[in-house]
Amino acid sequence: MTVGGEATATGNGQTVCVTGAGGYIGSWIVKLLLEKGYAVRGTVRNPDDAKNAHLRGLAGAAERLVLCKADLLDGDALRAAIAGCHGVFHTASPITDDPEEMVEPAVRGTRYVIDAAAESGTVRRVVLTSSIGAVAMDPSRGPDAVVDESCWSDLEFCKKTKNWYCYGKTVAEREAWEAAAARGVDLVVVNPVLVQGPALQPAVNASLTHVLKYLDGSAKTYANAVQAYVHVRDTAAAHVLVFESPAAAGRYLCVADGAVLHREDVVTILRKFFPEYPIPSKSVVLIGHRSDDIALLRPSLSLFQPCQHTR
């Protein structure tokens, strides 16, 4: 699927809310929105926490960024942050394999955001950050099947393998679609693959540990598996584009063209640039892992002009 039609005018005069504004993807979305002239309300757990200082240092933040205290399980706080906004980017989500900490906050938080958007009377579109984890986990899919936006992860398989992150992202996205249909909210979903690239926030997030573990010695082997990647700036740009494009609808897989690598390719690249680090040289087979799923992705965000990243 591709997005057709002209994008709407950039953000001058429009106010949008970004939940999880201090996170890896959320911070980049805030940055791009400010650069385009939007006024941004970013929800964070504690606006005064030093870990959110990077947001206040962004260009345009002093004039057009307000940090709002909100938690995924605080519907009233989310409603207050979203009231009067023209759009919502819902990026906030737990990232854990603890089922109690992952599933309920992800699902309830998504429902609260959709309800708040419906009640605002001003929100024209909600853009939800989902995940490839809500798409690719299905052991019954044939090895030659193409993975596209019509695919969903198998919830029973996620439970059986205790992959509570993929389970939570899947049920949260399904909840978003059901709630949006019931409340008449225009919803578009971006499903990124593994996001990499420079972090604006000071802390290392879960996505970046995918590479860091091969550099700090915590990973002694690498998996005999493939992985698709996308740059964090491109991921943020995808969110902004589907918000601004009137014809955008449904789900969009977000993956860089040609960026599907075997783990051996990853460690080889790292070894070339960082020979002094303890990068593993042995592979291990992951039991129950489908190493071919990601290799047959059909990206639906082919509408983007390629972004050039030199480092």
Q: Which residues pair with 295 in a beta bridge?
A: none
| Pairing of β 39-44 and β 283-284 | unpaired
DSSP letter for 288, please: T
Residue type, 12: N
d(CA 154, CA 220): 30
Residues 6+ apart with CB under 8 A from 248: 3, 188, 241, 242
* CB contact at 8 A, 211 and 30: no
List, by residue number, the catalytic residues.
169
Count Cβ atoms below 10 Å from residue 188 Cβ, excluding itself: 20
**In whole angstroms, what separates CA 73 from the centre of its chain?**
19
Interatomic CA distance for residues 159 and 299, integer angstroms: 27
Give the integer Cα–Cα distance in Å for 183 and 164.
Answer: 28
Quickly tell me which residue has 């400010």 as its tokens: 34
Residue with tokens 């420079």: 198
